[in-house]
Copies of this chain bind each other. A is one copy, B any other.
Amino acid sequence: MPESVSPRAALGPARLWDSTVGSDTSFLLARANALSLLRINSTLAPWELKVRSYSVLALAAADARPTQRELSEFLQLDPSQIVALIDALERRGLVAREPDPSDRRANILVCTDAGRELYARAQAAVGLAEAELFDGIDPGVLDAVVTGLRHLAAAPTRD
């Protein structure tokens, strides 16, 4: 985020929170996500990862063996963006493309040992950062947040 926005004042005046926008779920979702993204991206910086590349690496490390098309659908990213993400990770020797035996057009994303090692360390840091992020939220509430978000996140996109 911009350095011109001072950390202390980042909340903005209470007057604005009292407005309609302050209780709008979409707005809260956007703001919560922006803050979480900021935090997690800065947590991942030492490993030269961002949330996007971290997610791809995580799916590779979990041996989910996704094709690029599946990654595109799951991460809600254009296939061409997946290409760029994998290219960068592959250049660093963290993941590899494996030909799909059942469809010679498709590539399956797999993880290298180096990728697993780096992921393990990054994941630990992300876990800590998330715990900090969610610190102070009642466990029951947090549980409901996850349930609700999962419902939202899993909703079919009907354009």
Given contacts A62-B20, A64-B16, A141-B148, contact A156 B2 (CB under 8 A): no
Kindly report how many copies of this chain are found in the complex they form together: 2
- Interface-centre pick from A9, A26, A145 (highest chain B CB count, 10 A): A26
Distance between A91 CB and nearest chain B CB, rounded to angstroms: 22
Report the interface size class on chain A: 35 or more
Q: A15-B64, A18-B64 are in contact. List 15 more A-B contacts (CB 8 A).
A: A1-B78, A4-B79, A11-B73, A12-B70, A12-B75, A17-B74, A19-B64, A25-B130, A27-B153, A28-B146, A29-B149, A33-B33, A38-B159, A133-B155, A144-B145
Write the residues of chain A forming the contact surface with B, with a CB cutoff of 8 angstroms: 1-2, 4-5, 7-13, 15-21, 23-38, 40, 42, 51, 55, 58-59, 62, 64, 66, 70-79, 123, 126, 130, 133-134, 136-137, 140-159
